[in-house]
Amino acid sequence: MKKKHCWLVEVGKNIRAIRESQGLSQEKLAELVNIDRTYIGGIERGERNVASLNLIRIAIALNTEVGNLFPSLDILLLSSR
């Protein structure tokens, strides 16, 4: 099994947190973004290195800035050690 990259895991956590705070299911988000629900699940688990275009689509569906999907620089620096 391929090891998940810690930065992708952090992006996935942020997407899940925003999605859940808005009361959206993975199914509903996938519908809004027009991608498969299993792909959303893979993103949220940090298993997918999601393309920029899909990150933009996710941000639009969640009515948030793309930057909000990414972890803070402090978290990235700590997780890279």
Q: Over the stretch 41-76, which tens digit does the pLDDT of each residue have? A: 999 999 999 999 999 999 999 999 999 999 888 877
C-alpha dist (Å) from residue 16 to 23, 25, 39, 46, 75: 10, 9, 13, 11, 17
Please report whether residue 28 resides in a domain. yes
- Provide the residue range defining the domain that includes 50: 6-79
Asked whether the predicted pLDDT for residue 1 surpasses 70, the reply is: no
pLDDT above 90 as % of the chain: 78
Higher pLDDT, 69 or 79: 69
Looking up tokens 């973004």, which residue turns up? 33
Degrees, nearest 5: CA angle 27-57-34? 40
Please report whether residue 1 resides in a domain. no
- The CATH number that applies at residue 42 is 1.10.260.40
Please report whether residue 74 resides in a domain. yes
Chain mean pLDDT for the chain: 93
